[in-house]
Structure 1
Amino acid sequence: MNKLHIDRITKSFGSKKILQDVCLSCETGNITALLGRIGSGKSTLLQIIFGTMKGDSQFIKYNEQVLTKESDRRNKIAYLPQSPMFPKHIKIKELIPLFCNPENTRKLFSDDLLRPFLNRTVRNLSGGERKLAEVMTVIHSEAEFILLDQPYSGLSPIFTEKVMKMIKERSKNRLHPKV
């Protein structure tokens, strides 16, 4: 079981303090949710943990390794931002292998939910189709910890239910990873 420990995260924008001394611990196999009002700093915290934003102060540790650079997080932490993450001009089938190992790529290529979109570029997908492709790709990445920022936003109720089920299944797989 792998552990991710976040401690002393603070972040200000100008004189406005968004985060102050945030602490969080997670273990593989568990699902942890961040709840809060709009503008309370949830997305900012996820970006700091992933490494795309620097905190004013931060301490992030994966097992016994302190993560100081974005590259330290490779295959340890994956992040689905709330805004679109895929380039618009590339086909979905070309993007999936960039995030997933060959086994998970094959799995996604044969998935009934995703198969209709594989030969389409991101710009030719609806917002919900794009979000579905992004969520499925990120949760099938090799990372031990998956950070999802509003993963159901824009999804139909049926897709939301299927994605919830997939997230639960994938979290179980991270509890007992293949060796």
Structure 2
Amino acid sequence: MALYGAPIWADSLCGQRNAAAIRRPQRAIAQRVARAYRTVSFAAACVLAGAPPWELEAWVLGRVYDWTAAQRALDRRPDPIERVEVREEAREAITRHRAEDLASATFGRRTLDAIGPVLNGWLDRRHGCLSMHLVQETPKCHHCEAELDTAEHTLEVCPSWAEPRRTLVAVVGDDLDNDLDDRFPDPFH
């Protein structure tokens, strides 16, 4: 529903203000799909949910629409195979653009850095929905009863996540803190 009429209005999303208007609801939806904390950034939530930003999706729809209109203006019937090729070319363009945007994103760096090396595979996956065990209903940890269950608590402290933590540390090293407390204050204080 969010992309209804996208070929008509896609080009008006060039400005930050218009893009922000469509990103607000997408962020909330992506956070729910990923069962993420409400403080998870737009970029990280979209990557976790496997959903490209709607303004990029709208751009793809606009390019396909423009191509179809150009074909009809030449009195040609748009070839379905060519239409798929046009759509795929546009998707490849937004995938490259999105990778650049994610590389320069300020917020959600931990998530983006973790998924970055396998981004294409992550986005192309066809099975396995996310089922994070941290659906936040209270500020307490559901696993160890710590008073505050934050992303940092889960990543660095909670005993229930010791084995996945060891696997992560083996790959990225011991520094899991990375000074995030300064950039992302605890939402419960």
TM-score (norm 1): 0.27
- Asked which structure has the greater CA Rg, the reply is 2
More strand by share: 1
- Higher RCO, 1 or 2 (CA under 8 Å, sep at least 6)? 1
More helix by share: 2
